[in-house]
Structure 1
Amino acid sequence: MLVLFTGQLQAQYDVVLQLKWQHQFQFAGYYMALENGYYREKGINVTIIAANPDDVDTVPKVLSGQADFGIANSGLLLHRLAGEQLVAMAAIFQSSPYCWLVKGDSTIRSVADFKGKRVGFFNREESAELFSMLAQNDISQSDLIPETTKVSLQNWIDGDVDVLPAYVSNEPFTLKQKNIDYRLLCPKRYGLNTYSDVLFTRQDLIDQNPQMVLDFYLASIKGWKDAINHPQKVIDIIKSQYQSKKSRAHLAFEAQELLEFIHPEQAKLGQMSSSRWRAIAMMHGAGKQKIDEHLNGFIYKPQKLASSRFSWMHIIAIMIILISLPSYYRLLFKHKKSKSQLETTLN
């Protein structure tokens, strides 16, 4: 009866999840959570919105309320340090899939060799760790020949650009198909081990609907666990329901590459630590005072709300039992009295 009662009171929420790119395996867990009904079970109607390639910044959309949840990279922290009340809920990728791309026969062997080279640039916050690699090697923009328009893979293939930002599951697949040799210079190799594909929301949404946010988080993590175990099913969903432009072969390559960044065998799915976020903040050049001022509350604490919810459920159950006890004993006493009277009559 309690289950029916709580089920009838379950609220229905319509929420928007804003992706930071177009539909692909990168967002597999959310597709699985939606497909397997995990959001629906929690009373949440989720719409997943792909990014416009010309406008991939998810933060303004979440801050404005255009979206309720978003996906971002470690650059999300820069917004928090600027005073924007954003909360990191889960770091799906435990390290960044963004790297610098150079030709296989290039004389560029390290970031230090970027000086005087034509380097493609795009949104700094989208790949802040790549810019940190430059800063770590004391390379400023004046040391480079920055290209802000010639940033396509074809420009790089044609030799218009020497160095290009790349995503390990995208450009490398195309280059392998074309038998073009390449090398990747990645942040982790330089000791810049940043989080990526961070699920986030606004603090005011947590304040207004803490249970809904918790349910969305739990359903999403459950979806990601399914996606890890059933990548082929995700690919089928992406092709049939989201009209991805990527081929099945590309999606399979993407799955193989990106699942390594989740590290499910080494870490709790989506886990984050304040010490690592502090290190990332320092990597971005933030001072200790600013970090101390803004970092507290940046990491979502689902277990705190979950334990609180658990306690309240117990309290409600105990109250129902206590309220029901008098009626139970009256019925029991009445039953025993009737039984005694029947036995007396029979005797």
Structure 2
Amino acid sequence: MDTQQNTALTRALAEVPGPLPTRGVIHITIPHTDRFTVVGNHLAQHPDLSCTAVGLAVRIQSLPQGTEISIKALAARCREGEKRIAAALHELEAHGYLQRFLHRLPGKKVATRTVFCNQPAELLRPRRQMPAPVPIPLSVPLSVPVSVPVSVPVSVPVPAQPQPQTRAHPQAHPQARAQAQPSAQPPAHAPKSDPATAPEPEPVPDPNPDPEPEQAPAPPLPPASLPVLPPPPPPPFVPLVPPPTAPKPPRPPLPRPSELTAELDRAATALLSDLRRHAPQFTLSEDDIRHLAPAVATWLERDAHPDTIRRTLTDDPPQPLRHPAKLLKHRLTALLPPPLPGACDLVAPARPRVVVMPFQTCDDCDRAFRSPTPGHCRDCREIREYRGEDVRVAA
């Protein structure tokens, strides 16, 4: 009874496709939906890199753009020491995953820039040329990208119709009959004429031409198929933590009282000067006291007790406390209490008064009924009205 059964693990193992291996590791793969990094097997299973170098490469690949990855910065993030991190960075640099180069800054300054590539082998391969974009027909909406393959209509060959031969009429001119039969050989005694200088014979129209047969209509071309639109791209990943290079919102200003009187200024200055007696790390300069005095005066104007202000400003400071004036400025702004409500605000709103009719006893049947004055109930009034007797009407 003391052995705890892990039902979640049993259910997950039952959902693994295929038979489970008899030895070795069993993978339970759950798809990631956010906060994940794609790592290639060429890095995770690199035979020449140590596990420290592989883990450090995965850590660097998961960091956002602009994150500091110097040896001291990585040592502050990881449990490994600086020597071990430096050796791992040298391994990554030897295998092409990490590259460092000098970048000249304005003013004759030089800075070291670090570049991390997740696939260094792809940098050595020649870049493949992109295929030429296919022209989009006018029937396609303009929202279709140019790189989408568009189906081009293929022309279907149409069989050529035989041209009808014009039969020569038996009574036609002999020259027209000769034109109707171009394959006939000329007579032997006919002189050879130069085709360039010989005049062309005028064609003689046939008095009874045969009607030309109607040509069959050409088969219609297949309609051009519309391009298949690609699925909409997934929404971009929005990190929950903004990168270090993101612009920070402006800080709210220090609170100021509605009227900074001499008494409030003197009391606020005395309270700030007295903080070092209770917490020596809150020793402020004269400029800091002069800058923070209006904010403390705002607290005093809102009827905050001096002991409450002192305890709120000095309790649980960070260790080590490097900038006490900045901490007091933040607490005076973020923890400012609201003004106390007035006497009129604390009074409950008056509710409408409900008038309750008292109970009366009927003079005839002693039945209880509600009425402001004594008299008879409803039934007794109806009976008395029917009999014609006097009725004491109850309002």
Q: In proportion to residue count, which structure has more helix?
A: 1
If you compute each CA radius of gyration, which structure gives the higher value, 1 or 2?
Answer: 2
Q: In proportion to residue count, which structure has more strand?
A: 1
Please, what TM-score do these two structures have when normalized by structure 2? Answer: 0.15
Please, what TM-score do these two structures have when normalized by structure 1? Answer: 0.16
Q: Kindly indicate whether structure 1 or structure 2 has the higher relative contact order, using CA contacts under 8 Å at least 6 residues apart.
A: 1
